[in-house]
Homo-oligomer: A and B are copies of this chain.
Amino acid sequence: MKQEERSQETRSRILAAAEQSFAEHGYDVTSVDSICHAAGVSKGAFYHHFPSKGSVFVALLNAWLAELDRQFAAAQTGGESVPRQVAAMAAGVNEIYHVAGTKWNILLEFWAKSKADPEVARSTVEMIRRYQGFFQQVLDRGVSEGSLQVKNSNLAATLMLSAVLGLLLQGILDPEGQDWGALMQRVLAMLMESMGERKL
């Protein structure tokens, strides 16, 4: 195997193992040794690729941010009406949720670590603000295309974002309690309706 290939392989194994373990047991509880063991990699290799345990965490966080941007870009290319676009987004979340519900768990870890680490805090705030901006943009487009009626799109976007975050949180905390994916779809549909949805 090529050297760079091998290096990338090791790096991504570490990241995957760390993501899994952070999501399942939490950042502090997870030891570097356990990550190495799960990744099938030595401690030397770990510290060859990352300067510290914390740097793996922020690398994971940045990967999420990058993925987020990709999602936003993909969501805006379609020519759908806003209510349909929102419904499609909700369906997407629902699908991801059913495929890998534990995927969201690490979000809670990011949030919890925000208080301790300023760099993490910046990234999580950035993440939330991007969502806010994205939602507001979507709602504004809905108004201008006539499919929605909202007086204050900023406030409406805040409501929408808060509802999504709250549902995500509940889904993480009580995964068996409800079908949160489906609930997300229904709640967003209800919101669209209350915002004066008009079929286009």
Judge whether A28 is part of the interface by a CB distance below 8 angstroms.
yes
Q: How many copies of the polypeptide does the oligomer hold?
A: 2
Cβ of A182 to closest chain B Cβ, rounded Å? 11
A173 touches B125 (CB 8 A): yes
Judge whether A162 is part of the interface by a CB distance below 8 angstroms.
yes
Looking at the complex, which one of B155, B159, B166, B195 makes contact with A169 (CB distance below 8 Å)? B166
A159 touches B173 (CB 8 A): no
Looking at the complex, which one of B111, B152, B177 makes contact with A125 (CB distance below 8 Å)? B177
A190 touches B156 (CB 8 A): yes
Q: Which 8 A-B pairs have the closest CB atoms?
A: A162-B166, A28-B28, A165-B166, A112-B112, A166-B166, A194-B194, A162-B163, A125-B174
